[in-house]
């Protein structure tokens, strides 16, 4: 059973009536997590949620969503009187707020969290192994989320994401949380397998700004498949060889992030989470293999309880 509640601006809690329809979408990056809930309602309570700013939900006693209330509406129609509440995950606070321009001589994990995350009441988990970045610049007009993403993803190789408790996670994916198996006996109601070559890079040339010193990084597998797309990345003169190569590796992995997509809808709610490994082993299915969850959507509607998973390659930047 799903249990939902909202937190008002003064800290008080309002528990919502039993939800009759709901959708929870999870992913990494942009767009951020989102939710939609429809509940039975009572007349006379039209403005009870006017000060609602946070939303939480639990499934069978386990927290499954923490986020920001964007909109609510009370509706009276042919289906009776009901309340609809929708919003986004806690990443919305970082997306909605513009960062102050800054120049860090040496930016550390603590600096980024203290200046761009903690002021919004967001707890941060992990990221202590992320390297310090010299001459890290926050330009005018970018969001707080862009600052965190550039620091963690581009310079540290970690895709920042939010967990179900609303915490910013700066660690890599934990493959110890268990692998979901979709095979014979699994109630799969639909699937789509897609591969996209456009935008996938075969080579990246990383060169220093005012010299001819260049390092090449290639994707041998994509080259063997006829891939032919090169990018040239210019870095400051002070960039070391290891950092230059990492810049190239990042570009290759980022370009492959959406190349393979297997979308499956399975009976049941909250079966897997972004970053989790999924082993697909369906009878007479030509795309069986090991995948990683890029996006997940749990819903309760006319089809009952369903989970739709968008799966990608395990080693791509999901």
> Which of 86-95, 222-231, 243-252 shows the lowest per-residue confidence on average (mean pLDDT)?
243-252
Tokens 């919004």 -> residue: 120
Q: For the chain, what is the largest distance between any 2 Cα atoms, rounded to a whole number of angstroms?
A: 73
Identify which of 101, 99, 93, 102 has the alpha carbon closest to the alpha carbon of residue 146.
99
Distance between CA atoms of 238 and 217, rounded to whole angstroms?
A: 19
> So what's the pLDDT on residue 265?
97
Phi/psi of residue 10, nearest 5 degrees: -90, 5
Instruction: Inform me whether the pLDDT recorded for 131 exceeds 70.
Output: yes
Q: Residue 21 in contact with residue 301, Cβ under 8 Å?
A: yes
Global pTM reads 0.89
178 band by pLDDT with thresholds 50, 70 and 90: confident
pLDDT of 205 > 90? The answer is no
User: What integer pLDDT is reported at residue 199 of this predicted model?
Assistant: 86
**How sure is the predictor about 246, in pLDDT bands with cuts at 50, 70 and 90?**
low
What is residue 257's predicted lDDT score, i.e. its pLDDT?
Answer: 83
pLDDT at 225 over 70: yes
Q: Residue range 262-268: average pLDDT?
A: 96
pLDDT(303) > 80: yes
For the ranges 75-84, 117-126, 186-195, 202-211, which has the lowest average pLDDT? 202-211
Given a cut of 90, whether residue 28 has pLDDT beyond it is no
Q: CA 70 to CA 31: how far, in whole Å?
A: 14
Summary mean pLDDT of the chain: 91
Name the more confident of 249 and 271: 271
**Segment 71-83 mean pLDDT:** 91
Distances (CA, A) of 66 to 40, 165, 168, 187, 241: 21, 5, 12, 29, 42
Residue 42, CA distances (Å) to 8, 19, 85 in order: 19, 13, 15
Among 3-7, 207-211, 239-243, the least confident range: 239-243
User: Can you give the pLDDT at residue 239?
Assistant: 66
Q: What is the mean pLDDT of residues 291-312?
A: 94
Tokens at residue 279, please?
Answer: 């082993």
Least confident of 140-154, 183-197, 201-215: 201-215
**What's the CA gap between 253 and 141, in Å, rounded?**
27
Q: What is the mean pLDDT of residues 179-192?
A: 94
How far apart are the two ends of the chain, measured CA to CA in Å?
Answer: 30
- Identify the weakest region by mean pLDDT among 41-45, 90-94, 95-99: 41-45
Q: What percentage of the chain carries pLDDT values higher than 90? A: 66
User: Tokens representing 288?
Assistant: 């069986």
């Amino acid at each position: 059973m799903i249990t939902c509640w909202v937190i008002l601006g003064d800290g008080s809690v309002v528990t919502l009536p039993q939800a009759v329809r709901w959708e929870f979408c999870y992913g990494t990056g942009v767009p951020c997590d989102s939710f939609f809930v429809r509940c039975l309602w009572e007349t006379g309570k039209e403005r009870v949620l006017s000060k609602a700013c946070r939303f939480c939900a639990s499934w069978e006693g386990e927290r499954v969503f923490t986020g920001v209330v964007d909109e609510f509406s009370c509706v009276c129609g042919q289906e009776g009187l009901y309340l609809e509440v929708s919003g986004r995950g806690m990443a919305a606070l970082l997306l909605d707020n513009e960062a102050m321009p800054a120049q860090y001589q040496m930016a550390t994990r603590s600096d980024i969290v203290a200046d761009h995350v903690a002021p919004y009441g967001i707890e941060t988990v992990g990221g202590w192994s992320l390297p310090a970045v010299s001459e890290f610049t926050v330009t005018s007009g970018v969001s707080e989320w862009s600052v965190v993403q550039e620091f963690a993803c581009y310079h540290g190789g970690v895709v920042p994401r939010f967990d179900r408790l609303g915490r910013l996670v700066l660690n890599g994916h934990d493959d110890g949380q268990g692998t979901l198996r979709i095979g014979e006996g699994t109630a799969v109601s639909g699937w789509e397998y897609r591969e996209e070559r456009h935008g996938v890079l075969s080579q990246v040339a990383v060169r220093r700004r005012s010299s001819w010193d260049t390092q090449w990084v290639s994707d041998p597998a994509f080259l063997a498949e006829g891939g032919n797309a090169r990018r040239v990345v210019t870095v400051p003169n002070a960039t070391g060889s290891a950092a230059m190569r990492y810049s190239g590796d990042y570009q290759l992995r980022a370009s492959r992030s959406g190349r393979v997509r297997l979308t499956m809808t399975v009976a049941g709610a909250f079966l897997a989470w972004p970053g989790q490994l999924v082993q697909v082993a369906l009878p007479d299915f030509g795309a069986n293999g090991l995948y990683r969850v890029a996006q997940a959507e749990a819903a309760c509607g006319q089809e009952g309880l369903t989970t739709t998973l968008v799966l990608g390659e395990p080693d791509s930047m999901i």
